[in-house]
Structure 1
Amino acid sequence: MNKNPFLLLGITDGSPQSLAIPTIQALLTGGLDFMYWRTSADNAGLTQLSAGFKPSVLLSATKGSAVPASFRWHLKDADRQVANFADGLPFSTSIHSLSEWPRLAGQVELVFYSPLFPSISKPGYGPLSSLAVIEQQISAIRQQHTALPRLIGLGGIQAENVALVREAGFDGAALMGALWQAPDAVDALQQIREVLSVKDG
């Protein structure tokens, strides 16, 4: 099993709650490692973000120079073919096939892989393979490759199954519906962290 700390990332869903800067800062203070600001809304709201939180926020763009200073560059899966790497490499990207993961070694720090479970935020969207099969694939790839980007599971992850994601060999979990469809996103994060802490004990 991976000895690095298990990362927890949030992803905005475009709802007012997910774009509320005080909520994002509370989540990052409360144990969230990164927040992916995935929205078509104007990024102007991010000007309210305290400077210390900016390196924990991922912004999507096709070139690094489009990402304001201090924020981290996320490159969408669909944009990798047209991306401009003249001004540096992205911090993170996303994949939908684990065969792409080793190819990104040395190019990004984090790779989002989805979906793992039936989506909370997109009804009807779910995995093509069971978590057991995905676990076998991860194990085989880790045996064949070193210095892989950290692998972040995404899709339907919540308190009830987050420990399974870690046990399957992922380096972290991304949370969207588990945060924004809960009555209180900060409380939802704490429940997830408590589950992982109990499993550590």
Structure 2
Amino acid sequence: MGCNYFERWYGINDDSCGFGRIMRLIVITTERFFDREADAVCQLFENGLERLHLRKPCASIDETSRLIEQIDAAFHPKIVLHDHYELVNSFRLAGIHLNRRNHFGDQSSYEDKALTLSCSCHSFEEVAICPANLDYVFLSPVFDSISKAGYKQGFTAEQLSDARNRGMLNERVIALGGMTAESIPAIRVYGFGGVAVLGSLWAGFAADGNTGGLLERFGKLKTKCK
């Protein structure tokens, strides 16, 4: 555990305000499956996506397994599971993400797989008490959620600045909630290590299947993280 994949993704040039440092960009899947989802995911990987969080909270293990099987095996080491952790024994995946639905339990069956370990947090207090062996944590909702109606911004600018000044926001903390190409520059000044996107990337794609639009949105997000 704790293999610090992010340092191998990019050369980290840290500073107190986050300038001069590349922010990591993580994509989270939509909750529901949609037609040609595996094709869309593969195209994101082909265009530079380094980490995909596979989050399908209502999906069965068989449904989750089928989606992974449809994704080129070359990209499996970039996929993190939010559910059905036992699938790491069937596929060469990147890691496991802990959440309120699932806790890690017995780690012994996974320890030899060099997995990344991450979790979801919803307060600075939760970030502070996260185990040291976590590679990164999600903090949400930083801004109003795009994918979850009514899920409002959880922190003021003053609270974020204070957390940065106290060293609670750093390269291990990933901002989630309302992440868009327009909001990413505001996130950078608080010292976050990266952003996780869902609604701003996938919005409308399940309905129109416009891959060009999807890749254009991804490109803008990636550019803002540089």
TM range (shorter): 0.7 to 0.9
Aligned match of 1:26 in 43, 52, 68?
43
1:12 aligns with 2:12: no
Q: Which runs of 4+ in 1 moved over 6 A?
A: none
Query: Whole-Å Cα distance in 2 between the matches of residues 14 and 171 of structure 1?
Result: 25
Instruction: Report the 3-state secondary structure (helix = DSSP H, G, I; strand = E; otherwise coil) of the residue aligned with 1:8.
Output: strand
1:50 aligns with 2:72: yes
Query: Whole-Å Cα distance in 1 between the matches of residues 72 and 156 of structure 2?
Result: 40
1:107 aligns with 2:133: yes
Query: Whole-Å Cα distance in 1 between the matches of residues 23 and 29 of structure 2?
Result: 20
Instruction: Identify if the C-alpha distance between structure 1 residues 121 and 61 changes in structure 2 by more than 3 Å, giving closer, same or farther.
Output: closer
Per the normalisation by structure 2, the TM-score is: 0.73
1:155 aligns with 2:155: no
Contact in 2 for aligned 1:92/1:110 (Cα 8 Å): yes
Query: Whole-Å Cα distance in 2 between the matches of residues 132 and 164 of structure 1?
Result: 13
Aligned match of 1:169 in 182, 187, 191?
191
Contact in 1 for aligned 2:194/2:225 (Cα 8 Å): no
Aligned match of 2:223 in 188, 194, 197?
194
Contact in 2 for aligned 1:10/1:34 (Cα 8 Å): yes
> Match of 1:102, as an amino acid?
A
| Shift in Å, 1:154 | 0.3
Instruction: Report the 3-state secondary structure (helix = DSSP H, G, I; strand = E; otherwise coil) of the residue aligned with 2:80.
Output: strand
> Match of 1:57, as an amino acid?
I
Contact in 1 for aligned 2:171/2:193 (Cα 8 Å): no
Per the normalisation by structure 1, the TM-score is: 0.82
Contact in 2 for aligned 1:109/1:149 (Cα 8 Å): no
Query: Where does 1:133-152 land on structure 2 (aligned, <5 Å)?
Result: 133-142=159-168, 150-152=172-174
Instruction: Identify if the C-alpha distance between structure 1 residues 120 and 66 changes in structure 2 by more than 3 Å, giving closer, same or farther.
Output: same
Contact in 1 for aligned 2:51/2:80 (Cα 8 Å): yes
Contact in 1 for aligned 2:127/2:168 (Cα 8 Å): no
Question: How high is the sequence identity, in percent, across the aligned residues?
Answer: 25
Instruction: Identify if the C-alpha distance between structure 1 residues 17 and 186 changes in structure 2 by more than 3 Å, giving closer, same or farther.
Output: farther
1:37 aligns with 2:54: yes
| Shift in Å, 1:180 | 0.8
Instruction: Identify if the C-alpha distance between structure 1 residues 77 and 135 changes in structure 2 by more than 3 Å, giving closer, same or farther.
Output: farther
Two-structure CA RMSD over aligned residues (Å): 2.6
Query: Whole-Å Cα distance in 1 between the matches of residues 78 and 218 of structure 2?
Result: 16
| Shift in Å, 1:36 | 0.7
| Shift in Å, 1:78 | 4.6
| Shift in Å, 1:149 | 7.0
| Shift in Å, 1:121 | 1.0
Query: Whole-Å Cα distance in 1 between the matches of residues 36 and 138 of structure 2?
Result: 21
| Shift in Å, 1:161 | 0.4
**Stretches of structure 2 lacking an aligned partner (at least 5 in a row):** 1-16, 206-212
> Which has the larger displacement, 178-187 or 15-24?
15-24
